Amino acid sequence: MSARDWIDKDFYRELGVSSTASDADIKKAYRKLARELHPDANPGNAEAEARFKAVSEAYGVLGDPEKRKQYDEARRLFGSGGLRGFGTGGGGFDVGDLFGTGGQGAAGGGFSGLGDILGGLFGRRGQGSAAGRPRRGADVETEVRIDFLEAVKGATVPLRLSSPSTCGTCNGNGARPGTSPRTCPTCNGAGLINRSQGAFAFSEPCRDCRGTGRIVDDPCPECGGDGISTKSRTLTVRIPAGVEDDQKIRLAEQGEPGQNGGHAGDLYVRVHVTPHSVFGRAGNDITISVPVTFQELALGSTLTVPTLDGKVSLRVAPGTANGRVFRVRGKGVVKREGATGDLLVTVQAAVPAKLNDEAKAALEAYAQATAGEDPRPELTALLKQRSD
């Protein structure tokens, strides 16, 4: 049965009762007609059989108080001449037209009953617009760039966000300043209409107020009646100590505002960390590479190494290997949870690009003094095999 069919049928006329007839009267009328038209009493009478079916169908709806209510409501909403405010002028009835969904509407769609008609309508629409129920706001994602030390120590940064928020002109009620929304008379402000079909009871957004429970006669010029306008806001964001490059920080309920009292969405801040010229990061550890001379490693020395907020002395024993990593405890990232990283110091022998005469002579003398020492005995052994 199509929507048009359903609306077109006059079940009251089928049963010969008025639309205000009591349930008892309807039952009485049906029993009388059913007896008269029953196929057993009218063998071979096709007309009686058709009438019998029509009467049964009519009673199937009117005999069930809940279905009767739906039917009445549908006739009130959709019935010829009964359209309220939709201005279809009594022409071709197209459910889709009412909701701007064009051709995908009811034309040709086989609706099995009123619940389907309304359920379909509101289901389609309900996904886009808020039902009367609280609806959580959308999550928002943004980015921020901080420098290395801010990431290590944590920082408070101002964040400028352009996002939908409560309209400041109307304070979110959608009405032009000086006016106010009125309570929707259809749902009495609930935003929902309760319906049931068979054993299923369900609520649907009120179509007159689009589920808001309120009707705005004179919309706010700023937000057009939505109560939400896009605007910039500056948010102070606390970046926790030890944040990593590309890490996302979640700020609960700092996203888009919710609707109908729903929670705001979350704000996700993707943090970009500008690298430091000296320090690096390895998790909670801070890394630093310290250029040293050959003689500092060979003879031993005491290095002064910068830390994040000061300096430490580092004793390099004579004969320290190039590239060795020293661990200075507790000089890394200090997290609020108590996890503290270390400072990892890598010594890196630097070869002078130029030598003065005195240095050159001294190095040549050193080379002479160590002439018998092979710095790469394993390779020498390997090369010896090759030449054999």
Task: Write out the residues near Zn ion by the rule CB under 5 A.
Answer: 167, 169-170, 184, 186-187, 206, 208-209, 220, 222-223
Q: How far is the CB of 233 from Zn ion (least distance, A)?
A: 16
The C-alpha atoms of residue 229 and residue 235 are separated, in whole angstroms, by: 17
The C-alpha atoms of residue 188 and residue 195 are separated, in whole angstroms, by: 15
Q: How far is the CB of 120 from Zn ion (least distance, A)?
A: 19
**Whose Cβ is closer to Zn ion: residue 17's or residue 184's?**
184
Q: How far is the CB of 203 from Zn ion (least distance, A)?
A: 12
Q: How far is the CB of 10 from Zn ion (least distance, A)?
A: 28
**Whose Cβ is closer to Zn ion: residue 37's or residue 187's?**
187
**Whose Cβ is closer to Zn ion: residue 58's or residue 209's?**
209
**Whose Cβ is closer to Zn ion: residue 131's or residue 223's?**
223
The C-alpha atoms of residue 304 and residue 217 are separated, in whole angstroms, by: 75
**Whose Cβ is closer to Zn ion: residue 35's or residue 182's?**
182
- The single-letter DSSP state of residue 94 is -
Scanning the structure block, which residue is given the tokens 């609280």?
134
Per the CB < 8 A criterion, the answer to whether 245 and 236 are in contact is no
Q: Which of 173, 261, 172, 260 is nearest to 215 (CA)?
A: 173
Instruction: Compute CA distances 301 → 304, 313, 317, 346, whole Å.
Output: 10, 10, 7, 15
Q: How far is the CB of 212 from Zn ion (least distance, A)?
A: 7
Provide the residue count of the chain: 388
**Whose Cβ is closer to Zn ion: residue 7's or residue 206's?**
206
Q: How far is the CB of 193 from Zn ion (least distance, A)?
A: 8
The C-alpha atoms of residue 135 and residue 375 are separated, in whole angstroms, by: 73
- The single-letter DSSP state of residue 96 is H
Scanning the structure block, which residue is given the tokens 């901080």?
146
Q: How far is the CB of 258 from Zn ion (least distance, A)?
A: 17
Per the CB < 8 A criterion, the answer to whether 19 and 128 are in contact is no
The C-alpha atoms of residue 89 and residue 330 are separated, in whole angstroms, by: 80
**Whose Cβ is closer to Zn ion: residue 190's or residue 312's?**
190
The C-alpha atoms of residue 4 and residue 145 are separated, in whole angstroms, by: 60
